[in-house]
């Protein structure tokens, strides 16, 4: 059983398409949230996610697009979130408003848990790759899962705590680990559980131009070239 893991497409259609094209055949496709926000193609990204029957949890940017509540967002993120709310078609807004805060499923005999941020703060808490074991332990000790799948940090991560695999596939639409290529992961659930991480080139210039044309803050375009 093979599962494709992605997170944080952030309205970046070129990046999402490149990832889906590069990905081997998978039995399931799970997205850890933030379909929208930052870039200029929220409708196209939501529609592609729906067409691919991606199982998606709600991210803080999906939530902001629906509620227009941008408390806690930096000014650039807030501006993009309100632009997104303005431009999303009704049926796509409705789709986002129905996304669950987390997902639990059993696949290949393993219990999987997907969330954007963390179990105790599904939308907003960041779990970065350098999180100390002590904090990871606190977060996941009591969680009833074998595999925990995260988003939000836009950074690839793989850790094991109490025998639980904690994995973040990295960011599709706005990677933040200084590598501008779109990121995803494949989870292999066989006798052994194995994750592999993949990076894909995409047309950054095209996405950047669309951000500029939409008159979204130009910093949101330039950062894509830097992977930050």
Which residues make up the interface to Zn ion (CB under 5 A)? 8, 34
Nearer to Zn ion, 8 or 44 (CB): 8
For residues 197 and 220, what is the distance between their CA atoms, to the nearest angstrom? 25
Strand ranges across the sheet with 164-169: 102-107, 110-115, 147-149, 164-169, 156-161
For residues 152 and 92, what is the distance between their CA atoms, to the nearest angstrom? 21
Least distance in angstroms from the C-beta of 206 to Zn ion: 20
Q: Nearest residue to Zn ion, using CB?
A: 34
What residue spans of the chain are helical by DSSP H? Answer: 13-22, 42-51, 60-67, 75-87, 90-97, 133-140, 204-213, 219-226
Least distance in angstroms from the C-beta of 52 to Zn ion: 19
Nearer to Zn ion, 123 or 139 (CB): 123
Least distance in angstroms from the C-beta of 176 to Zn ion: 9
Nearer to Zn ion, 12 or 146 (CB): 12
Least distance in angstroms from the C-beta of 60 to Zn ion: 7
Nearer to Zn ion, 27 or 219 (CB): 219
């Amino acid at each position: 059983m093979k599962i494709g893991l992605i997170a944080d497409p952030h309205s970046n259609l070129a990046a999402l398409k490149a990832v889906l094209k590069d990905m081997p055949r998978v039995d399931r496709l799970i997205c850890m949230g933030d379909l929208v926000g930052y870039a200029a193609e929220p409708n196209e990204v939501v529609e592609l996610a729906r067409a691919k029957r991606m199982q998606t949890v709600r991210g803080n940017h999906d939530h902001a697009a629906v509620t227009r509540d941008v408390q806690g967002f930096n000014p650039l993120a807030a501006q993009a979130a309100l632009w997104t709310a303005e431009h999303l078609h009704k049926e796509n807004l409705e789709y986002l408003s129905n996304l669950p805060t987390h997902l639990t499923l059993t696949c290949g005999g393993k219990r999987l848990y997907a969330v954007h941020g963390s179990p105790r703060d599904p939308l907003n808490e960041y779990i970065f790759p350098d999180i100390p074991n002590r904090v990871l332990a606190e977060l996941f000790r009591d969680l009833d899962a074998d595999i925990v799948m995260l988003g939000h940090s836009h950074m690839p991560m793989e850790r094991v705590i109490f025998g639980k695999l904690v994995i973040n596939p990295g960011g599709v639409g706005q990677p933040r680990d200084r590598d501008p290529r779109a990121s995803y992961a494949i989870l292999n659930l066989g006798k052994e559980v194995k994750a592999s991480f993949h990076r894909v080139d995409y047309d950054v210039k095209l996405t950047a131009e669309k951000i500029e044309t939409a008159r979204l803050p130009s910093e949101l375009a330039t950062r894509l070239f830097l992977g930050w």
